[in-house]
Structure 1
Amino acid sequence: MTRALVLRAGRLSLRASGRAVVVDAILACVLLGCVTLALMLGSRVLSPGEVLAALAPGADATDRLVVLEWRAPRALAAALFGACLGLSGAIFQSLTRNPLGSPDVIGLSAGSYTGVVCVLSLGGAGYLALATGAVVGGLATALTVYLLAFRRGMHGFRLIIVGIAISAMLSSVNRWFSVKADLDVALQVAVWGAGTLNNVEWLPLSYSAMAALALVLVLPAAGRRMRQLELGDDTAGMLGLSVERTKILLVVLGTALTAVVTAITGPVAFIALAAPQIARRLTGHGSVDLTGAALTGAVLLSTSDLIAQHAISGVVLPVGAVTVCLGGGYLVWLLVRESKNS
């Protein structure tokens, strides 16, 4: 029997298994280690003590510049965006009740990508313009997929099939934009579309962090509704849940979490797909585990970014190229495992 921990603060209470708490604590420590390594490694290698000294007032100007201005935004962005993707994947996998139900697969990442490509093609620039394009593109795609998949209710398998078709169409549109656009715009779209954390700066990162914080504040209520939905639509309805309205709200929430990332990094594959499933296996949760998914996603993207920066000497790869390679192997393993179980 799994021991459970119950934390209470006034009328609020949180129940978690002992195993989940231990695993989440380990993941948090691993994440802290990844962020520390990201601050230490580079053309100028620093020790942990030098990193801490650079964060203190009166630090060496060069070390402070390297740590705070060059490395810290990228390291924190990897952790934040990995967490957002992990949460988004958990929402959609719970909604579709399918391990393939992630924003990558059902077309939402491609929709956000299309929105940003349209903005770039029209001459837009800056974080706010790209963020607007990502949000509008993602929500428009989510609405299209939802309406096409809706038949007396929204069913997970139909949503995935429709999403795959929409994703293929949008990928063709994105390639067409790249071919028809001016050379400078096409190069910008190609670099951004690879999924990259290069040149992440404090100002757009702060905007993304505020948007992510606002979305995270909704997650406790969303988590309770997701657990009710996992009991089945009929049972959830009997418990007083407005099923279709809840599904729409969850789609909007998951899409917004994806758009927060896509606006800065471009489409980053694999994280949203793998993080929730890995978290479930680590924590032993049979239902949705938002905390574990967020921490796992943060660790996966932070690790991938370390590989992208330092795997090849003198070459900084787009982080999306690393996650695609890892994701391909994971997807093959997942498909083989699911076929054996069936």
Structure 2
Amino acid sequence: MSSQFNYCQSALNVIEIEAAAITQLGQYIDTTFTAACELLIACKGKVIVTGMGKSGHIANKIAATLASTGTPAFFVHPGEASHGDLGMIEREDVVIALSNSGESDEILALYPVLTRLSIPIIAITGNTNSTMAREASVSLCVKVDKEACPLGLAPTSSTTATLVMGDAIAVSLLEAKGFTANDFALSHPGGSLGRKLLLRISDIMHKGDGIPSVQQNETISDALLEVSRKGLGMTAVTNADKLVGIFTDGDLRRILDARIDIHQTPISAVMTERCVTINEHILAAEALAVMESKKVNGLIVVNEQQEPVGAFNMHDLLRAGVL
């Protein structure tokens, strides 16, 4: 029987029904949506998002989205709240309560306490005539024509619509607050965006004895030994501690073709002068862009006096997760 069932058509039906549910949300974006956002913008405490069952899973995700986009928020289970977790909620907070029916007993049990504390409640329900909607400070409608479940029992379209309404709130607040990519990175330091926006060259460069460096009067063979010891595929060439050039694996290939005596020739004769350098305060992502544009695999980091203070290559960027 399973081989004859059209799984693809069933999936397409679900997508069509849920897409229609999202599309019709536009009719509910009005002055009440603005009022809800203004309550949240004015909130001096935290945003508490709560919901029971499937609405609870959606509430958890909405809280996470708010928190990561500049609005401090967390999820509180309504059942646990009635048994002590209400202590997490303070007078300066705002509560967002989710329930498709708008008649969740666990959430309605919290209303009297929240009202006594003068905590604003934003209800997101599929029934604007429900108890939760009527007794809330602001009520947002997420009513859908039908669930994607053919039995009309499993929350599908309704949870999708609620999730999208939560995203609409989060993004509206993000834009109203002028939340930037740098702000986002601060709350996502472990993610790839955080690494790209927060990591500086000073965090990953080799320092001190780890910097490959030879004096300009040393021989090519001395420089080769330094390149091998430090393992960065290059070495800085200095004069009185100031950078005067760089010698890389690429330079080595060129001198071998020229049959130069590496034991007698000073490195200054074959080094690359006026080499590309950066300072240690530059973002690692910016350094990567410089390396790609100049087609180099490593860079020497210098201070204002043009003294080498660090070195790194593409492998360091790769290990740091910038690439």
User: Is TM-score (shorter-chain normalized) higher than 0.5?
Assistant: no
TM-score, with structure 1 as normaliser? 0.21
- Bigger Rg, structure 1 or 2: 2
TM-score, with structure 2 as normaliser? 0.22
Greater per-residue strand proportion: 2
Highest relative contact order (Cα 8 Å, sep 6+), 1 or 2?
1
